[in-house]
Amino acid sequence: MPSGRSGGGGGSRTMSSRGSMGGGSRTASSRGSMGGGGFSSGPSRMGPPPRRGPAVVVVGGGYYGSRWYHHPRYRRRSMGILGILAIICLILAIVGLASMSGAKSTMADIQTEHDYYVTMVNKANANAANYGIVTGKVIEVYKNDKGDKWWYTYQFDYGTYTGIQGQTYPVYTDAALNLSGTDVQLAVYDPGQGKDYIDSVPVDYKNTAVTDDGDYIAAQSSKSTGTMMMIIFIILFVVFLVGSFGWFAFLRKNKGGDPNQANSNGSNDANNNGTSGSTTASSQPQMGQCPYCGGRVSPTDTKCPNCGGTL
């Protein structure tokens, strides 16, 4: 009896307010007073918010030194998007390859079984040794959800053996519902030599294609799903590569020195600029220096044109 597949077988600031008591008045510095003055709670002004500079990416190090790249904070989101794309690509690649590999293996096994039983039917029809044709009876018909196919169980006698049971592969259409209790022609194989089993398959299995098998149809669907995942993976991977090259190209365009030295360099440049000719200073605006990347900026700039830091 064919075996090996289910259903088949042969088949989430607060601001603290300071109040005043006893006739004291609030001053411009928001000091609270008690009894006309004498106790001060201190100024409440928090000052301007800190400037938001660019994020720093350091490449290299060790004997050959390192290169500092400045990445504007408002573009940090691009880094996160690239990271998410990388994770999605990895998942798609793993799942897609696993699905395709498993489906191919299943399809190959079903093809091998199909060829084996078609050959067995041919030998039985030719009255080859240990092969024969017997009449059995269909016992029960079952629906296989894979591929929307049907299979059935049967029983037959062969030689001194009686009540031998077997089952078909899920290759039948809805018409199989009418087979219960009917006779069926079976090809049988008795290996002999002390073997305690007799292999069997309906003779009409010879007329079915491997693509009629419900398990084969399900494997084809799984393979198609895996192929689609790989196509999506390739598309997203190309987007990831283009985004990565664009991000690194932006970093190279905005590369600068160690931002920890920017302020001291800025002071030195300011002093040097102060000793330069008065003619130049009077004819054009005094240029400043970015506190983050050390690049030259105009007094009217609100963002550094080099690294994107807020001034």
For the chain, the domain total comes to 1
On whether residue 159 sits in a domain, the answer given is: yes
Nearest to 166 by CA among 177, 152, 176, 178: 152
Q: What is the pLDDT of residue 61?
A: 44
Higher pLDDT, 198 or 197: 198
Higher pLDDT, 289 or 254: 289
Give the neighbor-by-neighbor strand order of the sheet with 199-202: 161-167, 149-158, 131-144, 183-189, 199-202
On whether residue 130 sits in a domain, the answer given is: yes
Assign 79 a pLDDT band (cuts: 50, 70, 90).
confident
Q: Which domain holds residue 205?
A: 119-218
Share of the chain above pLDDT 90, in %: 40
Nearest to 56 by CA among 309, 230, 310: 309
User: Average pLDDT, stretch 227-253?
Assistant: 85
User: Average pLDDT, stretch 255-278?
Assistant: 49
Higher pLDDT, 14 or 73: 73
Assign 151 a pLDDT band (cuts: 50, 70, 90).
very high
183-196 residue pLDDT tens = 999 999 998 766 77
On whether residue 145 sits in a domain, the answer given is: yes
Q: What is the pLDDT of residue 254?
A: 56
* 67 three-class SS: strand
Q: Where are the alpha helices (DSSP H) in 24-151?
A: 76-125
User: Average pLDDT, stretch 19-30?
Assistant: 39
Q: Is pLDDT of 214 > 60?
A: yes
86-114 residue pLDDT tens = 999 999 999 999 999 999 999 999 999 99
Give the other-Cβ count within 10 Å of 117's Cβ. 23
Higher pLDDT, 237 or 274: 237
On whether residue 175 sits in a domain, the answer given is: yes
Q: Are 113 and 133 in contact (CB under 8 A)?
A: no
Whole-prediction pTM:
0.59
On whether residue 137 sits in a domain, the answer given is: yes
Q: Give the chain's mean pLDDT.
A: 74
Q: Is pLDDT of 13 > 90?
A: no
DSSP 8-state assignment for residue 149: E
121-142 residue pLDDT tens = 999 999 998 999 999 999 999 9
Higher pLDDT, 207 or 67: 207
Q: Are 151 and 138 in contact (CB under 8 A)?
A: no
Nearest to 57 by CA among 239, 244, 242, 263: 244
On whether residue 183 sits in a domain, the answer given is: yes
On whether residue 210 sits in a domain, the answer given is: yes
Q: What is the pLDDT of residue 5?
A: 42
On whether residue 205 sits in a domain, the answer given is: yes
